[in-house]
Structure 1
Amino acid sequence: MEVQIQEAAVSFASRRFVSPLVLSTGSIEEITEARARVRVTVGTHEAWGTGVTYLSDLWAWPDAHLTHGCKDAALRAFCSYLAQELCHLCGNEPAHPLELGMRLHHAVADRPPDYHDKLPPPLARSMCASPFDAAIHDAAGLALGRPALEIYDQVKPVPSSDDLFPGSGAIAEVAATLRPTPVRLFNAWFVASPADDLRTLADEWVRRRGYRCAKLKVTGTDPHQDATFTVRVFEQTRACGASSPLITVDSNGVTPGPDAVLEYLANLRDLNTDAYDAVLYIEQPTGRDLSEHSFHWGAVASRKPVLIDEGLTGVDALLMAKEQGWSGFALKTCKGHSFMLVTAAWARCAGMLVSLQDLTNPGLAAVHAALLAAYVPTLNGVELNSPQFTPDANKEWLPRFEALLEPRDGVHRLPDDMPCGLGSQWQD
């Protein structure tokens, strides 16, 4: 099965947050949504596919010297460049969608030689490329009449990634990683930060909507304050009716090193052993450049899994993470569908873990993340927090997909039938 890219386009929409999403680098109140469309042919079959992501400059490009407007304009410009040059960047020849996506990943990871405008950093470039990768897979699945995560039953060469899997190859290891029968139920996660009114937050998401899982945005620089905040969230969640809360902890890369994480965990266990036990994993404590911020994570990983998020920008990070003692990787569809499949397969082969986050992505992008979680075993199911921050962006999918995008019992539910492609047909 070989897919030929014929043409591509991209459009943009502005989305406002109903409440700010607080990161260590600032607060997100408004964001651009990029929607890529790609037309492919598979033999005599043709289809248009769609992929969507938020262009989150504060997450992918945290440069305090540039304004949001400046970075947003550069991200839009790079997306437009990708639409124009997609065939070239994917090799100008037909290939398996995984190969096309990994060619695109490698092309944007390096500096594109013919791009002369302001170039975003690698993570931001991968984010811009991700809706095109998703659209390729969506279109391929639609052309074939199959779910895009069920096209790995025949081994094909993937020259861009086969060397990561000596003796077997990427297609075989991705196939071995994917569940033969997808799951359809996932715990729902809400996000809490120290600036939030925890009583109001827990009343809405725990008491009224049945959530029991919380992702905590912590300072990363004050272990005692972060431990105290973790206990407060845990106790407030339990007080609102959650019998066994789960917690993940994210400082977005501002923690100085493993010793500070160990101090946080020690403080947390001293304050409340139940809250300590509720911590499922710790996400990207230190800076995203693994070469510049090189630590050994064995002592932390022996207590709680510690996962790379922003540091996962290319295949070189896989082996580096293993060598430095990280427990695994935080997958995000905004890093590229193909790269996430390769990462999940490599992690399984290396005995490492994966989780699945989102980028507060709504609608089709949330569907994409849920479909990935249906097939890829993860620690946390999938984190889908657009209901908390950009619910209006989900409206065109309601009420049909209310069980997925507006859960009322603490669980996201996919429909019984898997869609062809990556879900755009559900919008038709």
Structure 2
Amino acid sequence: MGEAPLLSIRAIALYERPVKLRMPFRFGVVTLTESPQAFARVQVALPDGRTAWGGAAELMAPKWFDKNLALTNEDNFGQLRDVLRMARDAYLSDSSPATAFGHFGRHHEAHARAASARGFNPLLASYGPALVDRALMDAMCRACGLSFYAAMQANLAGMGAAHPEFQGIDFGAFLAGLRPAASMHARHTVGLVDAITPADQSERVGDGLPETLEEVVRAYGHRYFKLKVAGNVQADVQRLRSIASVLDRSPQPYFASLDGNEQYESAEGVQELVRGIQAQPALRRLWESILFIEQPIARKLALQVDMRSADLGKPVIVDESDGELASFAQARARGYSGVSSKTCKGFYKSVLNAARCAAWNREEAGAHYFMSAEDLTTQAGLSVQQDLALVNLLGITHVERNGHHYVNGMAALPWTEQQAFLRAHPDLYENSHGAVRLRIADGEIALSSLDCLGFASGSMPDFGVMSAL
């Protein structure tokens, strides 16, 4: 397809709109009931005069990017708005043409330093460029008349030497070998306050959608799950027994990840949980189903703790500690086997880490290193579609999904917007219970319609009804 095109950034617009949850979701130290969703629009121009707009979206989740308990949810929303504005101003500060990746490489370090000077950690800082880069990629694809998959397989973003952390990897060869699939498994999150059976509920939402884990399995047919633990071995084991009593009913194999939520300060603390699980005959099948343990150590300590100091019996991945481009390489040296892909951390970082896994596995002649696909409550529309397309491009076969469960689909959006997304992606969405929502059948999400013009979206949100960020 030729050289990576040079792009001039003409405009960047930032918007937001409110998202209300149909039921509370607790992750780590916060129980979420509502949150704004941020949107970025970028206009690019090619040297021949062609122009196009692209978009991206991401929920502004509190107490994940910065878990400082002295900050309110509104403080966290303010931080995320700030890093978005900082990224917008940085990308608009240099009008000279560059490849899509070149724009990222040009501003990454300066933006990180500026964010640090404001007291923002690297994970928080990355949120701004993550949205701008996706919207820029979307605009480039539309200007060139290509899908995200085709553009990435041909490396039309120009990934490579424009940033030193990406040097030494043949991204042309790596990307050319990627083969997206037609579907993937949805890994359902069981949050820390989620009801397992109706007996656990004091009151019901009553909107006709599944509320308990038992109902979710019956409605969607999931075979992959993400189980959150809270750092209290006795309470965690008891809750896992309740979860296992539902999952073990399945005649088919099921698979799960165990999310430690940064609740531990040492590998030995995690080992205590593992031993507590292994000591329970009722948890034998559940323990055998565990694929990996996610970020059990608090982020301030995670890359100092050698996970090989404890016999956990399962690989461990980093998530919240993956704040910088070099973090996964540092984690590898501490005994971690994997790292999460999240579009809110930046899609170039996900591609870099996937390429690292491939290279390291070749070096060691095995399959020790891997990427997982995690979800920060991505919402129907641009957010979930771009995340799914990235994960699918990288060949990951199951992805944590929870945004569709805790939010009533597109119910709060204009009906015309809902129908436009349904028409553009009839395999991905369905119209049920009064709204357009993600379609999950037999535990899987169909993805074929994401291979469309632009970054995985055949429709655009109604920016005219949104508020300026």
TM-score (normalised: structure 2): 0.81
Instruction: Give 5+ residue unaligned stretches, structure 1.
Output: none
Q: 1:189 aligns with which of 167, 184, 187?
A: 187
Pairwise CA distance, 1:173: 5.6
Q: 2:44 aligns with which of 37, 40, 47?
A: 40
Partner of 2:79: 74
1:211 aligns with 2:222: yes
1:98 aligns with 2:101: yes
SS in 2 for 1:86: helix
- The one-letter code matched in structure 2 to 1:47 is A
1:374 aligns with 2:392: yes
Contact (CA 8 Å) 2:338, 2:370: kept in 1 or not? yes
1:259 aligns with 2:259: no
Partner of 2:402: 385
The root-mean-square deviation of aligned C-alpha atoms, in Å, is 2.6
Distance in 2 separating the partners of 1:148 and 1:386: 23
Q: 2:110 aligns with which of 107, 111, 118?
A: 107
Q: Percent identity?
A: 22
Contact (CA 8 Å) 2:147, 2:455: kept in 1 or not? yes
Distance in 2 separating the partners of 1:7 and 1:84: 10
SS in 2 for 1:56: coil
Pairwise CA distance, 1:138: 0.6
1:280 aligns with 2:291: yes
- The one-letter code matched in structure 1 to 2:392 is A
Distance in 2 separating the partners of 1:154 and 1:135: 17
Distance in 1 separating the partners of 2:104 and 2:327: 18
Distance in 2 separating the partners of 1:382 and 1:366: 11
Partner of 2:366: none
Distance in 1 separating the partners of 2:39 and 2:87: 12
Partner of 2:358: 348
- The one-letter code matched in structure 1 to 2:12 is A
Contact (CA 8 Å) 2:225, 2:400: kept in 1 or not? no
1:11-410 residue pairs with structure 2 within 5 A? Answer: 11-44=15-48, 45-88=50-93, 92-112=95-115, 119-151=119-151, 152-153=153-154, 156=158, 158-161=160-163, 164-166=166-168, 168-169=169-170, 171-172=171-172, 174-175=174-175, 179=178, 181-200=179-198, 201-219=212-230, 221-239=231-249, 241=250, 243-271=252-280, 272-289=283-300, 294-298=304-308, 303-351=313-361, 352-362=369-379, 363-378=381-396, 381-393=398-410, 396=418, 397-398=421-422, 400=426, 401-402=428-429, 405-410=438-443
Distance in 1 separating the partners of 2:451 and 2:311: 36
1:8 aligns with 2:41: no
Cα deviation code 1:259-282 (max 9, x no counterpart): 122222222223132111111111
Distance in 2 separating the partners of 1:316 and 1:301: 26
TM-score (normalised: structure 1): 0.89
Distance in 2 separating the partners of 1:29 and 1:107: 35
Partner of 2:365: none
Contact (CA 8 Å) 1:101, 1:336: kept in 2 or not? no
When residues 294 and 119 of structure 1 are mapped into structure 2, their CA distance, relative to the original with a 3 A threshold, is: closer
Cα deviation code 1:343-378 (max 9, x no counterpart): 221222123210111211112110001111221023
Distance in 2 separating the partners of 1:248 and 1:392: 25
Partner of 1:414: 447
Pairwise CA distance, 1:424: 3.3
Contact (CA 8 Å) 1:254, 1:285: kept in 2 or not? yes
When residues 135 and 29 of structure 1 are mapped into structure 2, their CA distance, relative to the original with a 3 A threshold, is: same
Relative to structure 2, which stretch is displaced further, 280-289 or 98-107?
A: 98-107
Cα deviation code 1:275-312 (max 9, x no counterpart): 1111111111112235x751111256872121110111
When residues 21 and 353 of structure 1 are mapped into structure 2, their CA distance, relative to the original with a 3 A threshold, is: same
Pairwise CA distance, 1:104: 4.1
When residues 105 and 302 of structure 1 are mapped into structure 2, their CA distance, relative to the original with a 3 A threshold, is: farther
Distance in 2 separating the partners of 1:119 and 1:392: 35
Distance in 1 separating the partners of 2:260 and 2:405: 19
Distance in 2 separating the partners of 1:348 and 1:20: 38
Cα deviation code 1:98-149 (max 9, x no counterpart): 2323444433322259x8xx55332122123221111011111111111223
When residues 139 and 20 of structure 1 are mapped into structure 2, their CA distance, relative to the original with a 3 A threshold, is: same
Cα deviation code 1:65-124 (max 9, x no counterpart): 111112212322332333233222xx54322222323444433322259x8xx5533212
Distance in 2 separating the partners of 1:411 and 1:97: 32
Contact (CA 8 Å) 1:387, 1:406: kept in 2 or not? no
Distance in 2 separating the partners of 1:174 and 1:190: 30
Distance in 1 separating the partners of 2:407 and 2:255: 23
Pairwise CA distance, 1:326: 0.5
Relative to structure 2, which stretch is displaced further, 393-402 or 201-210?
A: 393-402
When residues 27 and 157 of structure 1 are mapped into structure 2, their CA distance, relative to the original with a 3 A threshold, is: closer
Count of residue pairs the alignment pairs up? 415
Contact (CA 8 Å) 2:86, 2:111: kept in 1 or not? no
